[in-house]
Structure 1
Amino acid sequence: MAETTAVRITRVDYGDPDAVRLVAEVQQEYVRRYGSPDDTPLDPLMFVPPTGSFFVAYDDADAGRPVATGAWRRSDVVVLGTARTAEVKRMYVVESARGRGLARLVLAHLEATAAAAGAEALVLETGIAQPEAIALYESSGYTRVPGFGHYRDSPLSRCYGKDLRCSSR
């Protein structure tokens, strides 16, 4: 993954200007794909350690430009034999930086930091209009789990989980 060697992933506050701009971009992506933004209730405090973290990836080969986001927050979802779960939120890579493996890099970072904070499994929700996200998650060891959260009953929603206790990635 030589193309990602100049990428630095940094924990930031949910209100950080780079985070705010990239979250606005991902919301526009949802509008393009689904016709409306994600209206899952989020509190910025959900992303404050030790109960969560929000990350921005910066491309140091491009003047430190913010190119991706990813976050996790504690979850009450019981899945894969554990209640010690965290939920992945706001995975996004700017269009000009796609195809470089950044989403996989950010996802691995989320897995490692959530596990270090005590999570035994990660869960996430994505949608059928995001086939590249589904492919990423499935190729990264995530398996379908029962629906949960705000979109649990939506036919457009797909929920996934990964047991971090047996992960060697």
Structure 2
Amino acid sequence: MVLDEVAFTDARVQRLVAEVQAHYVAIYGGPDESPVDPLQFSAPRGLFVLGVVGDEPVAMGGWRWRRELDDRFEGHRVAEVKRMYVATSARGRGFARRVLARLESTAGAAGVQRLVLETGTMQPDAIALYESSGYERVVPFGHYATSPYVRCFGKRVGRAELS
């Protein structure tokens, strides 16, 4: 798999977004309705990665700065991981772990100190990935903070002290 940094509006990304939204409808009864501005995934305040095998897009994920969460998470510079997804046909090959590692390294290099993310109880594979990658449960935040299905995680990825 080749990882490319692309715009969130890239047609291949949008094809995978449609797939993940259909998946959410199947497991939760509706799509993810959290607000997403495509410009939030543009440098220097964010990044979006697309994993491609041959000509086929198979994995994706991005991060976006969430300054409003800094105080909530020990004063760290916080970014949120969003739209992590691996196509059903490509699962079990380590692609999600590679996308996540790229997001962590690029966010840390951009000055992010903590990554946070939302997932849900109906996604045990995602929860297992995050926990095995060093993410720990954090107080719920975001669009689904009050949902009984939400699980939020965080991980330090950059220097802990503020400059």
Is the pair's TM-score, using the shorter chain for normalization, greater than 0.5?
A: yes
Q: Point out where structure 1 has 5 or more consecutive residues left out of the alignment.
A: 1-6
1:9 aligns with 2:16: no
1:143 pairs with one of 120, 131, 136: 136
1:122 aligns with 2:115: yes
Amino acid at match of 2:52: Y
Give the number of aligned pairs: 158
Give the distance between the partners of 1:166 and 1:142, measured in 2 at CA. Answer: 16
Give 2:59's match in structure 1, choosing from 64, 68, 73.
68
Percent of aligned positions with the same letter in both sequences? 54
- Describe the shift of the 1:14–1:165 C-alpha distance in structure 2 as closer, same or farther (beyond 3 A): closer
Where structure 2 has 5 or more consecutive residues not aligned to the other structure, the ranges are none
How many Å apart are 1:10 and its aligned residue?
Answer: 0.6
- Distance in 1 between the 2:45 and 2:60 partners? 18
In the alignment, which of 92, 97, 108 is matched to residue 104 of structure 1? 97
TM-score by length of 1: 0.90
Quote how far apart the aligned CAs of 1:82 are. Answer: 3.2
CA drift at 1:81: 2.5
Is 1:48 matched with 2:39?
no
What amino acid sits opposite 2:19 in the alignment? E
Question: Is the Cα contact below 8 Å between 1:143 and 1:161 reproduced in 2?
Answer: yes
1:37 maps to which of 31, 41, 61: 31
The answer as to 2:28 corresponding to 1:28 is: no
- Asked if 1 retains the 8 angstrom alpha-carbon contact of 2:109 and 2:158, the reply is no
Please state how far the C-alpha of 1:165 moved relative to its aligned partner: 3.0
- Work out whether residues 82 and 121 of structure 1, in 8 Å CA contact, stay in contact via their aligned partners in 2: no
- RMSD over aligned Cα, in angstroms? 1.4
Q: Is the Cα contact below 8 Å between 1:33 and 1:129 reproduced in 2? A: yes
> CA separation in 1, counterparts of 2:19 and 2:94?
19
1:4 aligned partner: none
Q: CA deviation at 1:55?
A: 1.1
**Cα offset for 1:80?**
4.7
- Off by >6 Å, runs of 4+ in structure 1: none
Alignment partner for residue 153 of structure 1, among 139, 146, 149?
146
Could you say if the C-alpha distance between residues 32 and 71 of structure 1 is closer, same or farther in structure 2, counting changes exceeding 3 Å? same
